[in-house]
Amino acid sequence: MPFKLSEEFKTKAAHICAKYPRKDAALLPLLQELQGAAGYVAEEAMDALAQYLELPYARVKGVVTFYTMFNRAPTGKYHLQVCRNISCHMAGAPGLLAHLRAKLDITEGETTGDGLFTLSAVECLGACGSAPVMQVNEDYFENLTAEKLDALLEDLKHGKHPLKR
């Protein structure tokens, strides 16, 4: 059965599109809606959205593949995105990535067997002054060390939000 946009999504989409001078200008917020519902943007969802917005599929796919905020596959409960750009690299990001790979027994793009963590290396998180930086879902963790990473992982494993104590 082919993927179809839900009526609920179409209602939200109409409301979002009404805020823009052209329907296709709502592409980013509509992709965010799709990801919010499923946790990622599936190929079939990209195709359905392209049809809805009367856009070429390639344009929608190009946006999804350009922005690291869009996941193209399901992720774990916590998506660990380690910045690997020059400031973070120089401040120790390669060592942090190696530490996470060893501790979680996964590589970039993989999810732990319990579905808790997905590991990604991303190009730039825009927090160069507090490198090295990692984004966990929507939250940033800065000036990281292996010890801070270990404490963060323990908090997350136990359902504690490290920024909301």
Residue 1 included in any domain: no
Does residue 162 carry a pLDDT above 80? no
> In this structure, what is the dihedral angle of CA atoms 113, 152, 124, 39, given to the nearest 10 degrees?
40
Question: Do residue 110 and residue 131 come from a single domain?
Answer: yes
pTM, entire model: 0.79
148: containing domain = 78-157
Q: Alpha carbon of 115 to those of 29, 79, 110, 146: distances in Å? A: 27, 10, 10, 22
Q: Using CA atoms, how far apart are residues 108 and 133, in angstroms rounded to an integer?
A: 16
Q: How confident is the model at residue 1 (pLDDT cuts 50, 70, 90)?
A: low
Number of structural domains (the chain) is: 2
- Per-residue pLDDT of 11-64, as tens digits, reads 999 999 999 999 999 999 999 999 988 889 999 999 999 999 999 999 999 999
